Structure 1
Amino acid sequence: MHLLLRTYVAASPAQVWEGFTRELFLALAPPFPPMRLLRFDGCRRGDEVQIELGAGPLRRRWTSLIIEHGTLPDGTYFFVDEGQELPAPLVGWRHRHLLQPAPDGGTIIIEDITYQTRFIWLDRLIYPIMWTQFAVRGPVYRRWFGKPSVG
């Protein structure tokens, strides 16, 4: 399944790139399920992020590896994380983060996510949950990087 979300912020792509920190990662965590950050190396190739989702006997580990990062010729910063250890029912995860320059000097933060379970019907069933988990990031991004001024 594929999710594509866009959030427009006032800060430049370079400022947003520098702001992708452990603190921002924690601020972006949705309210449910409970999440505990075990490891956050950063957003560069070879970095790893490990979280624990859930509580008690329902705890599940999620480990992602940053498989690439860089800057495109148009000034878009990017990094890609790929799931290495995923909680059920996920069996595949790839999340491209694009920090695209906006015409007024701000940034369009694009979250381009592809995920899979073992069944297409289950991919579709959990789509609204996955979409909601990432849609709640928009207001957080605007708090951290500023709301663009309306012209």
Structure 2
Amino acid sequence: MQIHLKTEVRQNYKQVFDAFDEQLFRKLAPPYPKLKLLRFDGSEPGDVVEVELQTGIKSFRWTSLITERTITDTAAWFIDEGQILPPPLKLWHHKHLVTANQTGSTIHDIITYTTGSKIMDLLIYPLMLAQFSMRKPVYRTIFG
């Protein structure tokens, strides 16, 4: 299953891309489940980001590995791939892409995930969409 969200902002794509750090990561965290950041190396290949998802009943580990980072004349991106995922996820691939446009840039969250079940993928799609849609106002507040 894939989700592709786009957010238009006013800052230059390189400035936006360079701001993807631990501080922005914390601001982008959804209100639920609560995230406890255990490790944040950065967004270079080989870096690891590890969180504990706290549901109030049970906690789950989520560990992602940064597998790619590229900057071109018109775009910049990095990819995080899930290594340890909370149930029911079996695969996680998130491309954080920032592209230049005439008024600033566009932030793309391109998420590919699977639970191993097409029915379950469809059932959690609205939740995933809602969680990542919450990033849009944060991006607009920070980047104009």
TM-score by length of 1: 0.92
C-alpha distance in 2, partners of 1:97/1:80?
6
Q: Which blocks of at least 5 consecutive residues in structure 1 are unaligned?
A: 147-151
SS of corresponding position for 1:124: helix
Alpha-carbon distance in structure 1 between the residues aligned to 2:113 and 2:91: 5
Partner of 1:131: 129
Q: Secondary structure at the match of 1:113?
A: strand
Cα distance, 1:40 vs structure 2: 0.7
Q: Matched residue pairs, number?
A: 144
Which structure 2 segments of 5+ residues have no match?
A: none
| Aligned-residue identity in percent | 47
1:101 aligns with 2:100: yes
Q: 1:57 Cα deviation (Å)? A: 5.2
Show the 5 A alignment for 1:44-83.
44-55=44-55, 58-72=58-72, 74-83=73-82
Partner of 1:149: none
Aligned residue for 1:9?
9
Q: Which one-letter code corresponds to 1:145 in the other structure?
A: F
How far is the alpha carbon of 1:18 from its aligned partner? 1.4
1:55 and 1:108 mapped to 2: Cα distance? 32
Residue matched to 1:92: 91
Displacement, 1:44? 1.1
Which structure: greater strand fraction? 2
- How far 1:118 sits from its partner (Å)? 2.0
Q: Distance in 2 between matches of 1:89 and 1:58?
A: 14
CA distance in 1, matches of 2:136, 2:57: 31
After superposing on structure 2, the runs of 4+ consecutive aligned residues of structure 1 that deviate more than 2 Å are: none
Which amino acid counterpart does residue 64 of structure 1 have in structure 2?
S
Superposition RMSD in Å:
1.1
**Other structure's SS at 2:79 match:** strand
1:103 Cα deviation from its structure 2 partner: 1.3
Q: Which amino acid aligns with 2:5?
A: L
TM-score (norm 2): 0.96
